[in-house]
Chain A
């Protein structure tokens, strides 16, 4: 019972698709997601997030993309034609989303986001709107094969980045130290391990669970 309550509070806060526990209306969820967006975008929190490479890349950038996805979910509840109407453009939206994420992986842009406020604003606006939201719209319009390919490619990218950050003898960002970079590399490695494990469980165990039902 306690766990159920906790899960409910968690899903209310983040508005992920735990439908069973989520008692908030989509409008309320949309407002709370937007507030989250604002909180991680404006100073006290954003300065703290940008203070290390690890929190900048792993927490701020990925949260911004997740916020875009969450916005997509809520908009889809309010306006159910969203997915149907974006189906025609699903390939373009996927390309847009992947391209935006790839561009923000360029080390120089990470530096610029720390140095220049306008680049930071661009980052805060573009990641949810040009990466997260299109990703949600296109993801739902693709089948399992494309999902599998994308999962695999995401895993490979994470591993490649982990390798790069651990092995690089020189600093890739002038704003962050080499230890910070190695930490990030190991963290990316851990995350990709967890991701791989999750995928493995999905592939090996889920089919049997479905069979039982």
Chain B
């Protein structure tokens, strides 16, 4: 059997159609994997997902640095700015803590009225006991107690951290953890509505005030 490869018009037409099909499907697959070429990382995807579909945060118990037990449902009626950290972190959690305390200072009057809460939640609740949380606050707080630190019960930690907020925590080489660092805004009804970069506090403040 002898075929004159690449010479007949029929073959060329078929080849062109197949090529167009391959191009189109490659385009479609990459568009769907990147939210129409806007999100190439998982973190971006998480932010976009929450922005389009706010998620109700499950009611879990939290213990504050003062040792009081409260539930997530108790915070309904006020806007929450939540971030996740572990207290023996040497790098980004210190920034997160400092940023949270700075934000608490900016929103001082709203916090005193009970309209806003700025909370750092530990994702390492077994190690971060009350003493460790208090040391963390002492080290980083400049807002005179307006910023709160809390830990979930070890049993419910996974529910709130991984499933509701979508935080991925991995161990690093230095005995610590790598994790998503961002400020999570929960509205008055208890829905996680947006996830913002912690570097731009003006933007965060504007978003919180919009929800009041």
**Residues of A in contact with B (beta carbons under 8 Å apart):** 84-85, 87-89, 91-92, 95-96, 99-100, 102-103, 106-109, 111-112, 170-179
Determine whether B39 belongs to the interface, using a CB cutoff of 8 Å to chain A. yes
A103: which B residues are within 8 A, CB to CB? 26, 29-30, 33
Given contacts A171-B178, A178-B178, contact A109 B33 (CB under 8 A): yes
CB pair A173–B5 under 8 Å, yes or no, is no
Given contacts A109-B33, A174-B180, A179-B172, contact A87 B39 (CB under 8 A): no
CB pair A177–B15 under 8 Å, yes or no, is no
A188 to B45, CA, bound (A): 26
A179: which B residues are within 8 A, CB to CB? 172-173
* Size range of the chain B interface in the assembly: 20 to 34
Given contacts A103-B33, A179-B172, contact A174 B40 (CB under 8 A): no
Determine whether B6 belongs to the interface, using a CB cutoff of 8 Å to chain A. yes
List 20 A–B pairs whose Cβ atoms lie within 8 Å, in order of A's numbering.
Answer: A85-B3, A88-B15, A92-B18, A95-B26, A96-B26, A103-B26, A103-B29, A103-B33, A108-B40, A108-B41, A108-B44, A111-B41, A171-B178, A173-B42, A174-B43, A174-B180, A175-B42, A176-B170, A176-B178, A177-B172
A102 to B23, CA, bound (A): 13
CB pair A87–B34 under 8 Å, yes or no, is no
A100: which B residues are within 8 A, CB to CB? 26
Distance from B9 Cβ to chain A, minimum over Cβ atoms (Å): 12
Q: Which of B29, B41, B44 has the most CB of A within 10 A?
A: B41
**Residues of B in contact with A (beta carbons under 8 Å apart):** 3, 5-6, 11-12, 14-15, 18-19, 21-23, 26, 29-30, 33-34, 39-45, 168, 170, 172-173, 178, 180
Other-chain residue from A95, A108, A170, A177 in contact with B39 (beta carbon distance below 8 A): A108
A87 to B45, CA, bound (A): 40
Given contacts A88-B15, A92-B18, A92-B22, contact A177 B178 (CB under 8 A): yes
CB pair A108–B42 under 8 Å, yes or no, is yes
A85: which B residues are within 8 A, CB to CB? 3, 5
B23: which A residues are within 8 A, CB to CB? 95, 99
A170 to B41, CA, bound (A): 11
CB pair B19–A95 under 8 Å, yes or no, is yes
CB pair B178–A108 under 8 Å, yes or no, is no
A178: which B residues are within 8 A, CB to CB? 178
Distance from B13 Cβ to chain A, minimum over Cβ atoms (Å): 11
A89: which B residues are within 8 A, CB to CB? 15, 18-19
Given contacts A103-B33, A107-B42, contact A88 B14 (CB under 8 A): yes
CB pair B26–A99 under 8 Å, yes or no, is yes
CB pair B43–A106 under 8 Å, yes or no, is no
CB pair A175–B170 under 8 Å, yes or no, is yes
A92 to B34, CA, bound (A): 23
Taking CB as reference atom, which chain A residue is nearest B19? A92
B44: which A residues are within 8 A, CB to CB? 108
Given contacts A96-B26, A108-B34, contact A88 B6 (CB under 8 A): yes
Distance from A177 Cβ to chain B, minimum over Cβ atoms (Å): 4
Q: Which of A92, A100, A175, A178 has the most CB of B within 10 A?
A: A92
Given contacts A103-B29, A107-B42, contact A91 B19 (CB under 8 A): yes
Given contacts A99-B26, A102-B30, A173-B42, contact A88 B173 (CB under 8 A): no
Given contacts A87-B5, A89-B15, A96-B22, contact A111 B42 (CB under 8 A): yes
A177: which B residues are within 8 A, CB to CB? 170, 172-173, 178
CB pair B34–A106 under 8 Å, yes or no, is yes
B5: which A residues are within 8 A, CB to CB? 84-85, 87-88
A106 to B34, CA, bound (A): 8
A173 to B170, CA, bound (A): 11
A163 to B11, CA, bound (A): 42
